[in-house]
Amino acid sequence: MPAQRPAAAGLQHPDAAMDLRLDPSFLEEAVWLMLRHPAAPPALSRSFQAEREALYAAASPAAEREEAFQRLTATYVDRLGLRALFQAWLQEMPLLHRLEAIMVQRVWSPKEEAAELYLREAASPREAASVLVLGLQAACCQEPQTLRAWLRHEGLRASDMLDTAFAYTSQPVLGGSSDMEQDLIRDRFRLLWDRWIMVRMQRRGWPLAVAPAIWERQFARAFDGWPAEARHAICRQMTDAAACTQGALLTLAQDARGLQPMGAGGILCPLCHFPTMDGVSDWSGPLAAAAEVLRRDYPWWEITQGACRQCAELALAQGPAPAVST
């Protein structure tokens, strides 16, 4: 991230000590680009240009001129509705009011756009300092709806990190046996977390920052070892979940079979996709015949995946699988 320029514009939140600090270089470019956008009011663009030219023509010391340009930029940040957009976003994110500051810094490419939360542990919550740094391209301000969706997505992620119920830790145990597995688990966790964020945005009627089709392709690629039915079941389960934790998401990311459900305990049956606390793992004795029926009806199923008691009993009721003639 680029270093923040001094004298960043600040937005003091009325209900908390947290303030929003906007990098002047970000604001300058954002105003310039927004006024050049075809949707910008022509009269506003002409007014801005006239005021800039007047400042350039004024014979004033460099420091005073710089301050005048920053005041001009701040005026048009207000007139273009950019400041109001950020303030409305903060109103939607009450957990972010716990932060000491949110800093918006200018970046130059989509790959650099990111949100980073920096937490400093202390003896008491009152002494702890936390800052959320948002790296944004100034060009994103030309599309307010897209910017608002991105802010909401990353705001919910940061809110999860601040929410004790989510039980976030910055150094989770990933559990991979190699660097490749560690990276895969980390990628899976990110995708599952994105899904949980998307679910809550949809519940609130907010446009998504990530196109569902793009997320689904990434999800299928990261979890290509899972049966499609299991992937769909996890998506349905997250859609219906009332709450989630970092630990639950990590468990799903670490489980190659995708059997661990949202919620407390149990397994998700790979056959009917309903959670159960009474899963079958021992297929000896009478249940050996049920296992044969399940292998016939679900060729992708493996005995080590287990199943719920109801699916096992239904398979047993069907009788032995027919012999295959040679």
1 domain residue, yes or no: no
Q: What is the dihedral of CA 158, 162, 168, 171, to 10 degrees?
A: 80
Residue range 98-110: average pLDDT? 93
For residues 240 and 284, membership in a common domain is answered with no
For residues 228 and 124, membership in a common domain is answered with no
Burial of 261 (0-12, 13-18, 19+ CB in 10 A): buried
How do strand 114-120 and strand 279-280 relate by DSSP bridges? unpaired
CB 255 within 8 A of CB 202: no
For residues 192 and 95, membership in a common domain is answered with no
270 domain residue, yes or no: no
How do strand 129-136 and strand 307-308 relate by DSSP bridges? unpaired
Structure tokens at 231: 């992937």
170 domain residue, yes or no: no
For 156-178, how does the pLDDT look when each residue is reduced to its tens digit (9 = 90+)? 999 999 999 999 998 899 887 77
168 domain residue, yes or no: no
Instruction: Round to whole Å and give the CA distance between 300 and 227.
Output: 8
Alpha helices in 223-323, H assignment, sequence order: 228-240, 246-254, 287-297, 309-317
4 domain residue, yes or no: no
CB 172 within 8 A of CB 212: no
Three-state SS at 103: strand
- Please say if the pLDDT value at position 41 is more than 80: yes
User: Residue 5 is which amino acid?
Assistant: R
10 Å Cβ neighbour count for 172?
16
pLDDT of residue 234: 87
For 170-223, how does the pLDDT look when each residue is reduced to its tens digit (9 = 90+)? 889 988 777 778 888 899 999 999 999 999 999 999 999 999 999 999 998 888
Structure tokens at 11: 């937005």
For residues 100 and 26, membership in a common domain is answered with yes
For 143-154, how does the pLDDT look when each residue is reduced to its tens digit (9 = 90+)? 999 999 999 999
For residues 146 and 15, membership in a common domain is answered with yes
Instruction: Round to whole Å and give the CA distance between 231 and 108.
Output: 36
For residues 261 and 183, membership in a common domain is answered with yes
73 domain residue, yes or no: yes
Instruction: Round to whole Å and give the CA distance between 97 and 54.
Output: 40
Give the domain-ending residue among 265, 288, 305. 265
For 110-142, how does the pLDDT look when each residue is reduced to its tens digit (9 = 90+)? 989 999 999 776 555 455 568 999 999 999 999
For residues 195 and 233, membership in a common domain is answered with yes
For residues 254 and 289, membership in a common domain is answered with no
For residues 128 and 213, membership in a common domain is answered with no
For residues 238 and 296, membership in a common domain is answered with no
Structure tokens at 63: 């420091």
Closest among 160, 156, 96 to 130, alpha carbons compared:
96
The model's confidence at residue 14, banded by pLDDT at 50, 70 and 90, is: very low
Give the domain-ending residue among 96, 129, 162. 162
As a whole-number percent, the residues of the chain with pLDDT over 70 amount to 84
pLDDT of residue 139: 95
Instruction: Round to whole Å and give the CA distance between 175 and 251.
Output: 10
297 domain residue, yes or no: yes
174 domain residue, yes or no: no
For residues 95 and 65, membership in a common domain is answered with yes
Closest among 145, 138, 133 to 89, alpha carbons compared:
145
Instruction: Round to whole Å and give the CA distance between 23 and 92.
Output: 22
Give the domain-ending residue among 265, 292, 309. 265
10 Å Cβ neighbour count for 161?
18
For residues 157 and 14, membership in a common domain is answered with yes
Q: How many domains in the chain?
A: 3
Domain limits for position 220? 179-265
Which strands sit side by side in the sheet containing 19-22, from one edge to the other? 9-12, 19-22, 101-106, 129-136, 114-120
Three-state SS at 128: coil
**φ, ψ (nearest 5 deg) of residue 124:** -140, 150
